Amino acid sequence: MYTYSDFDAEFVRNRNAQFRAQVNRRIDGSLTEDEFKPLRLMNGLYLQLHAYMLRVAIPYGTLSSRQMRQLAMIAEKWDKGYGHFTTRQNIQFNWPKLQDVPDILDALAEVEMHAIQTSGNTIRNVTADHFAGAASDEIADPRPVAELLRQWSTDHPEFQFLPRKFKIAVSGSENDRAVLRAHDLAVQIVEKDGQQGYRIFVGGGLGRTPMIGKVLRDFLSPEDLLPYVEATVSVWNLLGRRDNKYKSRIKITVHENGIDTVRDKVEARFAEIKPAFTGVDQEMLEGIKAQFALPAFRNASIEALEAYRAANPAFRAWTDTNLTDHQNDNYAIVSISLKSHGKTPGDASADQMRVMADLAERFGHDELRISHEQNVILPHVHKADLPEVYNTLRDAGLATANIGLISDIIACPGMDYCALATARSIPIAQQIATRFDELKLEHEIGALKIKISGCINACGHHHVGHIGILGLDRAGVENYQITLGGDATQVAALGQRTGPGFSADEIIPAIERIVYAYLDLRTDADETFLQAFNRVGMSPFKAALYPAQSKAA
Amino acid sequence: MPKPFQPSVVTANHLLDGDVIYQTAADEWSRNLSDAEVLTDEADAQIRLLHAQSQPAVTVGAYLAEVALSVEGPEPTHFREEFRKTGPSNYAHGKQVGAAPGPLEASEETI
Ligand code: HEM
Ligand code: SF4
C-alpha cells in the first residue's frame, strides 16, 4: 500500500493546522459564514440537514486495517458510532461538531488520511476498480496510476478554481467496475500490440444532465498520461462555462463543442506542455508501483473447502454470491455486504469496522477496499480461510449473501440527511430489501441492480441502475420516478423513464410489478433482468406498471 | 398573483453542532419547533429574519419556514421541515431522541 512521503505528511499537517485556526476564527467571530464556507468545504466539511457532515477521502477505495480501526475510533469518539460509505469510495460522518473537526482531521492524519478536495471545484478523490490488484481479468493494477493522479492533482495551483468539480476514475480491466463512463475523465489501462497504455474517456457524468463518457484518445503511451490529463483539464478550465453552474461540467463542454473540437484543443495543448514533463513523473510512478506490489501469497491446501460448502448451505449461498475470482487460483476476493436487509445501505458500525479490520489483518494481507456499490472488499483471502472469515462476518451481521442481487442497493443519503434532497432514498432501499427478502425471491430474480437518488444530482447513480429510482418533491409530497435499462459497465447506458412517478406508498408495489413482469417474460433463469429488458424493451414493463392506462389505451 | 404570506418561524442551523434551531419570542434560540415564535406579518418576519442573520456566532443559514398552527403550536407544512424538526427516519438519532428541551444554554448561545 502507498505510504505517505515526508512531503505528504507535512502537507496534511499544515493544512490541518490552518483549518484549526480557521475554525477558531469562525467561532470567535472574526470570519463570517460566507468567508468560512469555502474554507470548510475545501476540507470536506458540509452543513447538512441536522448537523455537520465530514467527508473523508479513501483514495481509490484502499484501506489498511489500521486505517479502518481509526475510522471506527472516530465514529465512536466524535460521531454516533457509525460511518456511511459512499459511491465515491469516501466515508461520511453524519454528526461531527464543528469544534471537534480539527481533532478528527488530526486523528485521520495519524493514519495518513484526510478530507482535502472531497468537495469544491477541484479534482476530487480519484476512484478505482475496487478489485484492483486482485481481479483475474486485470491487465494491471490501476491504483499506481490513481495515486500518481492524486499526487499531481492535490493542491495543483492551476486547478484549485475549476469551473466545477472534476471526478477521475481508473480501471485496469475491460470489465468496468469503476463506472468509468460516468466520470468527467477516466483512464482505462489497455494493451495494444503487446504494449500497455491508456484509453482516455471524457465527458461522462450523471446529475441533472446525464451523459455517457466518450473516448478522447484510444491509446496513450504511459509517459504521456500526466501531460495529456493536464492538457484536458486545462482546456476545460478555459472553455468550461462559468456563467451557469448547471452547464459547467466538462460533459456539457464536450456536448456543446463536440468531442472533435475538444480533442483538437487537448492535442494542441498537450503538444505545448509535453516538453515540460521531463520524465520525473515516470520515475515517481515506478516508485509508487513498488508500493503496490502484490502480497506474498500463501500456499495451503484448499481441499477441505468443498466438503465445508456441501455441509453448510448458508455458507454455500454466501460463496455463490459474495466471492469473485482472484488472479491466484487459491485465493478469492470477498465482498462484505453492507446491505443487510432493512439496514441503511453503506453504513457500518464501529464494531463492524473493527471486525472487518481484524479479518483483513488476520486473513487478508491487511487490505480492505470500499466499493462504489457501498460494500467492503477483502481483496486477498486464501480459500482455506473462507469458513472462518464467513463465520466471523456472520456473527457481526456482515454475512448477507446478496452481492449483485436486488437488495444490494445503492442509495444516497437523501432527505434523511442531505440538505439538497427533494425526497428520501434510504427508507425506499430498506423497504425494497425487506420486501423481497420476505418474498424469498431474491435469488430467483438473480442479478439486478437498483440505484436510488434523493434528487436530480444523482449521487445514488440512478441513471445507470437496471432499475433507477429518483426521489422528487411534487407539490410538497415525495414522488418517485422510475427508469429502466441503465447499465454502469463497459456497455454503459442511461435508463429510460417509465412514465409518471409513484408516491412513497406506491413505489414498493410498483417495483414488485416490474420484477414479476420480468420473471414472467424471461426466457429462462439465465436471462438477467437487464438482458430481458434489452430484448423486449419498455412496453411490457409499462403495461405492468400502469395497468389502468394500458387497458384504457 | 403572489401567494399571501403564510405563518412562519425563523429557523437556522446552530454554528457549533449544526443542529436545527428556532428563534423564540423571548429572543432566544430553541432546538424545539414548539418554542418558536410564529410570525404572521411579513414585514415583521423580515425584521426577525435579519435579526437572526445578524447573529453569526449562533446561526448559520437562517431563513423563514412556513408553519401551520395547531393546538400544540406550530407544525411544519413541508416534509423537509418535518425531518428537520424530528431527525432522520433510518435511526433514532437527532431531535427525536436527544432534543434538549427549552431554550439553549446561555453558554451555548453566546460562544
Ligand atoms: C450529502 C451531501 C452531498 C451533497 C451536498 C452532494 C452534492 C452533489 C451535487 C450538487 C452533485 C451534482 C453535481 C453536478 O452535476 O455538477 C452531486 C453529484 C454526485 N455525487 Fe453528491 N452530494 C452529496 C452526497 C453524496 C454521496 C453520499 C455520494 C455517494 C454515495 C455522492 C456521490 C455523487 C455522485 C456519484 C454524483 C454524480 C456524478 C457526477 O458528479 O456527475 N454524493 N453531488
Ligand atoms: S442525490 Fe441529491 S439527495 Fe442524494 S446525496 Fe446527492 S444531493 Fe443529496
Secondary structure in 3-state letters for A517-553? HHHHHCCCCCCCHHHHHHHHCCHHHHHHHCHHHHHHC
Whole-number average pLDDT of chain A: 94
- Other beta carbons less than 10 A from residue A182's beta carbon: 29
Cβ contact A453:A462 at 8 Å: yes
pLDDT of residue A7: 84
Residue B13 has pLDDT above 50, yes or no: yes
Mean pLDDT of A2-23: 90
Q: In this predicted structure, which of A28-32, A64-68, A276-280, A351-355 has the lowest mean pLDDT?
A: A276-280
* Structural domains counted in chain A: 4
Confidence of residue A2 (pLDDT cuts 50, 70, 90): confident
pLDDT for A378-413, tens place per residue? Answer: 999 999 999 999 999 999 999 999 999 999 999 999
- Alpha-carbon distance A455 to A374, whole Å? 19
pLDDT of residue B2: 73
Mean pLDDT of A87-92: 90
Mean pLDDT of A266-280: 93
User: Is the domain of A216 the same as that of A336?
Assistant: no
Considering only CB atoms, A417 lies closest to which of B19, B60, B88, namely: B88
**A63 DSSP β-pair partners:** A368
User: Is the domain of A384 the same as that of A459?
Assistant: no
Which residues in B lie closer than 8 A to residue A46 (C-beta atoms)?
A: none
User: Around B73, how many Cα atoms within 13 Å sit in the side-chain half-sphere?
Assistant: 10
Query: Rounded to whole angstroms, what are the CA distances from A459 to A123, A140, A202, A470, B71?
Result: 17, 28, 19, 10, 40
pLDDT of residue B101: 46
pLDDT of residue A410: 97
Residue A553 has pLDDT above 50, yes or no: no
B13 touches chain A (CB under 8 A): yes
Among the candidates A291, A324, A348, a domain finishes at: A291
Confidence of residue B6 (pLDDT cuts 50, 70, 90): very high
Residue A507 has pLDDT above 60, yes or no: yes
pLDDT for A143-170, tens place per residue? Answer: 999 999 988 988 888 888 899 999 999 9
Task: Tell me, yes or no, whether A368 lies in a domain.
Answer: yes
Q: Quick one: which atom of ligand 2 is closest to the CA of A460?
A: 1
Look up the CATH number of the domain holding residue A238.
Answer: 3.30.413.10
CA A120 to centroid of ligand 1, rounded, Å: 11
User: Is the domain of A357 the same as that of A219?
Assistant: no
CA A457 to centroid of ligand 1, rounded, Å: 6
Confidence of residue A549 (pLDDT cuts 50, 70, 90): low
User: Is the domain of A416 the same as that of A537?
Assistant: yes
Task: Tell me, yes or no, whether A427 lies in a domain.
Answer: yes
Cβ contact A395:A354 at 8 Å: no
A149: nearest Cα among A230, A266, A223, A64: A230
Tell me if B83 and A49 make a contact (CB, 8 A cut-off). Answer: yes
- Alpha-carbon distance A251 to B42, whole Å? 43
User: Is the domain of A192 the same as that of A62?
Assistant: no
pTM of the predicted structure, to 2 decimals: 0.93
Question: Residues near ligand 2 with C-beta < 6 Å?
Answer: A 412-414, 418, 420-421, 453-455, 457-460
- Alpha-carbon distance A249 to A121, whole Å? 10
User: Is the domain of A271 the same as that of A187?
Assistant: yes
Task: Tell me, yes or no, whether A352 lies in a domain.
Answer: yes
- 363-422 in chain A: CB under 8 A from chain B: 415-417, 421
Which residues in B lie closer than 8 A to residue A48 (C-beta atoms)?
A: 18
User: Is the domain of A278 the same as that of A338?
Assistant: no
Residue range of the domain that includes A249: 142-291
Residue B109 has pLDDT above 60, yes or no: no
Residue A533 has pLDDT above 80, yes or no: yes
Which residues in B lie closer than 8 A to residue A29 (C-beta atoms)?
A: 56-57
Among the candidates A360, A395, A430, a domain finishes at: A395
Cell of A137: 481479468
User: Is the domain of A155 the same as that of A48?
Assistant: no
Confidence of residue A513 (pLDDT cuts 50, 70, 90): very high
pLDDT of residue A459: 95
**DSSP character for A424?**
-
- Alpha-carbon distance B59 to B53, whole Å? 7
- Alpha-carbon distance A262 to A278, whole Å? 25
pLDDT of residue A161: 85
Q: With a 6 A CB cut-off, is A214 part of the ligand 1 pocket?
A: no
**DSSP character for B82?**
H
Q: With a 6 A CB cut-off, is A262 part of the ligand 1 pocket?
A: no
Residue A180 has pLDDT above 90, yes or no: yes
Provide CB contacts within 8 A for A377, sequence distance 6+.
Answer: A61, A130, A131, A333, A334, A335, A336, A368, A369, A370, A371
Contacts 24+ apart (CB under 8 A), A66-70: A66/A111, A66/A357, A67/A111, A67/A112, A67/A113, A68/A353, A68/A354, A68/A356, A68/A357, A68/A360, A68/A368, A69/A353, A69/A354, A69/A357, A70/A107, A70/A108, A70/A110, A70/A111, A70/A113
Q: Which one of A123, A167, A457 would you pick to mutate in the ligand 1 pocket, going by the greatest count of ligand atoms within 8 A of its CB?
A: A457
pLDDT of residue A420: 96
Considering only CB atoms, B89 lies closest to which of A33, A95, A427, namely: A427
- Alpha-carbon distance A453 to A443, whole Å? 25
Confidence of residue A551 (pLDDT cuts 50, 70, 90): low
Tell me if A50 and B88 make a contact (CB, 8 A cut-off). Answer: yes
Residue B110 has pLDDT above 60, yes or no: no
User: Is the domain of A244 the same as that of A313?
Assistant: no
Confidence of residue B111 (pLDDT cuts 50, 70, 90): very low
User: Is the domain of A23 the same as that of A98?
Assistant: yes
pLDDT for A482-495, tens place per residue? Answer: 999 999 999 999 99
Mean pLDDT of A176-199: 96
